[in-house]
Amino acid sequence: MDEKNQFTEGKIVPKLIKFALPVLLAMCLQSLYGAVDLLVVGQFGTPGDVSAVSVGGQMMQMITMVLSGLAMGTTILLGQAMGSNQKGLCGNIIGTSIVFFVVLGLVLTGIMQAVVIPFAKVLDAPAEAFEQTIAYVRICAGGSVLIAAYNLLGSIFRGMGDSKTPLISVLIASVVNIFGDLLFVAVFKMAAAGAALATVIAQGVSVVLCVLIVKKKGLPFEFSKENIRLDKKVTKRIVLSVFP
């Protein structure tokens, strides 16, 4: 755990504020993904493309909310285990979370690919933007595992008391997203599909960065391949800690 964010001793409020600010900033940066997509597509695409990104973004927001909400469960459990010095449990929490979020990401990918057309109709996607909306959602949904991985890695860092690393990774990913939008939309004229591809690539970059940082810094507890298995009790605690 980050020694500067030991919440089990000393004054809590200053440490809590210091910890929370990077979390809030990271959330703001994540919310800018869709805004940047709309800005670039609006500048270089057609009104139909803008509508596709807007409607498709609403659909993808649902996946992001589910994954980020469940990731908070990992943060809670890991923080509790770290605070009570249950180092053996920490490895099981991370291992279970890896399996759980990979499976969840794959399931959400399949669901969104299957329901994207009726869902777009429910959201009343304009006829001139319908095909672009479907393309946008299918590409973004294809990266659901990356969205799950990013949220999981961020939750692990925060559970260990480190809220700055997720902020740095999402900041770099935001920059990648901007350049990706300009490349795929402005240069390659891929419109809504290009904006979706840029978003997926940016999420992938943030995941790679977090993994590299974990490898470089290491973990303050034992973790091995044997920990990567689905523990039903831990899975239940992750879900119930967020959705009691």
Owning domain of residue 179: 3-242
Q: Are 227 and 69 in contact (CB under 8 A)?
A: no
Model confidence at 2: pLDDT above 60: no
Q: pTM of the prediction?
A: 0.90
Task: Write down the pLDDT at residue 31.
Answer: 77
Task: Write down the pLDDT at residue 11.
Answer: 77
Q: Are 177 and 146 in contact (CB under 8 A)?
A: no
Q: How many domains does the chain have?
A: 1
Any idea which residue has 């840029």 for tokens?
Answer: 198
pLDDT in tens, 26-61: 888 887 777 889 999 999 999 999 999 999 998 998
Whole-number percent of the chain with pLDDT over 70: 96
pLDDT in tens, 118-155: 999 998 999 999 999 999 999 999 999 999 999 999 99
Token pair listed for 95: 């291992």
